[in-house]
Amino acid sequence: MTTYTPMIQQYLQVKAEHEDAFLFFRLGDFYELFFNDAIEASNILEITLTSRDGGSTDKIPMCGVPFHSAEGYIETLVRKGHKVAICEQTEDPREAKGIVKREVVKVVTPGTITEGKSLDANSNHFIGAADQLDEKLYALAYVDLATGEGKAEIITGDERTLIGEIEALGMKEIVVRERLHITLNEWMAKRDIVLSMENGEEDNNSLNVQSNIPNELHEACDILVSYLKRTQKSSLEHLRPFEYIQKSSKLSIDANSMRNLELVQSIRNGSKEGTLFWLLDETSTAMGARKLRIWIHQPLADRAAIEDRLTIVSDLLEDYFLRDDLKTSLKEVYDLERLSGRISMGSASGRDLAQLRNSLRRVPHLKNALQQSGHERLQRFSEQIDPCSEVLDLLEASIAENPPLSVKEGGIIKDGYHEKLDQYRDASRNGKEWLAGLEREERERTGIKNLKIGYNRIFGYFIEITKSNIHLADLSRYERKQTLANAERYITSELKEKEDLILNAEAEGQELEYTLFCTVRDEMKNHIRRVQRLASVLSELDVLLSFAEVSEKQRFVRPQFHDGRALEIKNGRHPVVEKMMDHSLYVPNSCKLTEDANMQLITGPNMSGKSTFMRQVALTVIMAQIGCYVPCDSALLPVTDQIFTRIGAADDLASGQSTFMMEMMESKYAIANATGNSLLLFDEIGRGTSTYDGMSLAQAMMEFIHDEIGANTLFSTHYHELTKLDLELERLVNVHVAAMEQEGRVVFLHKVMAGPADKSYGIHVAQLAGLPDTIVVRAKELLDAFESGEQAAVATAASEQMTFFDLQEEPDPVSESDKAVLDQMKQTDLLNLTPMQAMNLILDWQKQLGSK
C-alpha cells in the first residue's frame, strides 16, 4: 500500500470492503475504475482503457464514465449480473485537509436496481432470501425494493422446487446464509441468478416487516432486510410488512405449470404476447399491471373472496358509463407505489412530487363515482379509498405546477409558499429587469446597437463592446474587465453593485429552495403508508376494471362455484388462441368431470387439439379463481387448491436432464403434492421411452391417481391399449378429439367427443407436415403389412426392445435356423440407421422368422 499515492491507497481500502462489486470511485465529474475493475469494465461497457501513475513503478489500468451519465453504464453492468458500489465524495474538496473523504453510499445489485430502461414498469422486480428449514422445507421471503411490496412463504419440496418458485417470480438475486450458499451455488450459476451471502447479525423485527407471519419465516425476512440495509444505506421506511402467502388461501401453480400454460411468459420467445397476462391486461396503471401478474401467479382458493371479486366485476360490467369514467380517471394516476419508494429512499425529484399531487387530485372523483354508483359492493369498495387530503394540501401549496427534473436549480417551490424565498426571487427577477433597462440606456447613450450586458461564472456581469465601436463609448465611465480578440468587456460601479445583489439573491434563493424541497419530501415520508394503502386499493380497482373490459369484449361469462369436486364447462374456449385467430373459426369444447367420473382419458391424433383442450380447462379454472369471467357458455367449478401440468417436451439442458427425465420429475412432483381438490393435466406421459415402458408407466400413474389421490384429471395418450382401463377404473371415462379421413388426407374436427379414438392418423399427420411422398407411400405399405395378420411376428420383434425395467426371464430356446437372423441383429449398428432403414430391416427379419 505504501508504494501507492494516498488517493490510490484510499481506493484500495474501500475496494477491500466491496470485493464482489465494481467500485465506481468519484473523482470530480467522473466515476473512475482502477486495476482489474477497469480492465473488466472497459470490455463490458466498451469504453477506453487507459492508465495513470499511482505511485508504483507500473502504470495502473484505469477507465471512467461521466457522473451525470453513469446510470446507463451502471444498469448495463447490473443487467449482466454484476454489482456496482457507488463511492462518493462526502466532504467539500475546498474544506478538505488532505485527501477528500469518500465512502460507498449505495451498492446496486441485480435485485436492488430500481431505475433504468431495462426495468419493466408493469412487472415486479423482486429480490429474495431463502432459508432451509428442513430437508424438504424452505422459507422464501422476497421484496420489490422499488415499491416496498414484500411477501413470504414456505416452500415444500427439494431445492428444485425452491428454484422453480424463484424462477416463476422472475428473481435475479437471492440472499442466503453460508450453509445454503454451498447447496444452491451451482444451481443458480446455471440460471444466471446472482447468489449473495449475508452473514451479518440478525435484525429481529426490523422495520416491522415480520408481523403476522410464522416464526419459521423470520430468519429469511431478517436475512433480506439486513442485506438491503447494508447495500442501500438509505431509509427503507417504505418497506411494508411481509404478507404471508398461506398455501390454503391460494391456488398453487408450480413453475413448470406456469410455463406450460404460458400464464405470463410465452414458451416460444419469452415475451408477453400470447399469454394469459397479455389477454387480460387492459389496466390503466403500471401498478395495476403488476397486481394482475401477482394475481395470476397466486389465484385465490377461498370461495367467499373469489365471489367478492366476481360481484364487483359484475357491477362494473352492468354500468358502462361508470366503467369508462373510472378508467379515464385512473389513466391520470401515476405509479404511486414507485413514487413512494423514491420518496422514502430520498431520490424523488420535484417532478415526482408533482406526479403524486396530480394523482391525488383524481382520487376524490374516483371515490365519489364509486359511492354514487348504486351498487352496494362498489360503495363498500369506495370506503377503502383514502384521499390523503393532508398530503394533497401540502403538495398543492408547495410544489410548482411544472417543476424541472433537477432539484438544485430552482423552479420547484411555488410562489407564496415561503416569504424569504419570495424576497430572493423578487430581487433576482427585478435585478434582471434592471439589467435589461441598463442595456437599453447604454445603447442609447453610446449609439452602439450591438452593445450587450452578459454574464459568465468567472467574471460575473459585464458590458461588452466590439473593438470597432470602442471609439463611440465614453471610456472614462468604464473599468476594463476582460479583453477578447474582437471585443472589450467593461464594468461600471453601478453594475458591480447590482451584480452582488442579483447573484446573491439567485444563489441563496436556490439554496433555500432546495432546503424547502427536502423538507417537503421528508414530510411526505410520514404519509408513505397511507399512500401505499391507497395505491393497493386503486391497483385492485384497475385490475377489476380490466376484467370487466376484457369479459365484455371477449364474451366471457360469470363462473358458478360449488363445494363439491365436479367440474362442468359448456362450450369452453382457449381464450388466448381464440383472440389470436378468427372468433368464428374457433371450435368450442365442453368438459364434464363428475363426482363419479372425474378422470378423462383423451385420445386422438397429433395436432387435433388435445393439448389446447387441456390447457383451456386449466386457464378457465385460473381465470375464475382470480375473479375474472371465463370463456365458455357456462361453468360450474369446484375451488381448486393446486394445478399440476405435464404438457409439452422441454429438455432442461442447464442441469443436464433429458426430456424423459424432466417428464418423470414433473410427474413425480405432481403426484407427491396433489390432493383430492387438485387439477392434474398429463399430456402423453411415457412417450420419451420405449413403447412398453411408456405404456406401463402411464397406466400405473393413472391407477395411482385414481385410487390414491382422486383429483380431477385430464390424461391424454397415444397408447390406445389404455382405453380399456375404463373397464377397471370406475371413475375413468374415454373421450377423443375427432378427426376424419377425406380423399386420403386427415381433416381435424377439433371436437371432443365421447369414447376412444379409432385410429391415430400418424401417417396422415406426417403427410400434412410435408414429408416426401415416397416416404409416406412406403409408410402406408408397412402399416398395412403390420396390420395384416403378422401380429405375432411384430410382438416377437417388439419384445426385443430395451426396457427401463430389469425383467429377469428365462430366454426361449433358439433354433439353429434362427441364428443367422439373430447374428444380423447383433451386428447391426442401430445408432447409425435412419428410421426408414431400421423399419425395412425389421420387416425383413419378421418375414424370415415368420417363415420358420
Binding site: which residues? 604-611
SS (H, E, C) 631-689: CCCEEEECCCCEEEEECCCCCEHHHCECHHHHHHHHHHHHHHHCCCCCEEEEECCCCCC
Reading the block at residue 797, the C-alpha cell is 420383434
Alpha helices in 721-799 (DSSP H): 762-768, 773-786, 791-798
Torsion of CA 207, 213, 218, 220, to 10 degrees: -90
- State the pairing for strand pair 30-34/21-27: antiparallel
The residue to which cell 367427443 is assigned: 753
SS (H, E, C) 208-229: HCCCCCCHHHHHHHHHHHHHHH
Residue 480: CB atoms within 10 Å: 11
Answer for the pair 218, 208: CB distance below 8 angstroms, yes or no. Answer: no
Residue 450: CB atoms within 10 Å: 11
d(CA 6, CA 685): 68
Tell me the CA distances in angstroms from 831 to 665, 686, 797, 828, 837, one per residue in order: 27, 21, 18, 9, 11
Nearest to 681 by CA among 658, 657, 705, 697: 705
Residue 693: CB atoms within 10 Å: 17
Identity of residue 480:
R
Nearest to 599 by CA among 697, 704, 748: 704
Answer for the pair 77, 89: CB distance below 8 angstroms, yes or no. Answer: no
d(CA 704, CA 364): 58
- Residues flagged as binding site for ATP: 604-611
Q: Which residues pair with 15 in a beta bridge?
A: none
d(CA 337, CA 358): 15
Ramachandran region, residue 270 (left: φ > 0; alpha: ψ -120 to 50; beta: rest): left
Tell me the CA distances in angstroms from 848 to 128, 783, 822, 840, 841, one per residue in order: 65, 18, 11, 13, 11
CB burial readout 801-826, b (16+ within 10 A) else e? eeeeeeeeeeeeeeeeeeeebeeeee
Nearest to 531 by CA among 225, 240, 221: 240
Tell me the CA distances in angstroms from 656 to 164, 610, 651, one per residue in order: 16, 29, 8
d(CA 709, CA 677): 9
The residue to which cell 418458485 is assigned: 165
| Backbone angles phi and psi of 415, in degrees to 5 | -60, 140
Supply the DSSP string of 313-370, one letter for each residue.
Answer: HHHHHH-HHHHHHHHHHHTT---HHHHHHHHHTT---HHHHHHHHHHHHHHHHHHHHH
Residues 6+ apart with CB under 8 A from 816: none
DSSP assignment letter at 414: P
Answer for the pair 118, 79: CB distance below 8 angstroms, yes or no. Answer: yes
d(CA 733, CA 755): 8
Q: How many residues does the chain have?
A: 852
Tell me the CA distances in angstroms from 470 to 438, 456, 581, 602, 754, one per residue in order: 18, 22, 80, 100, 105
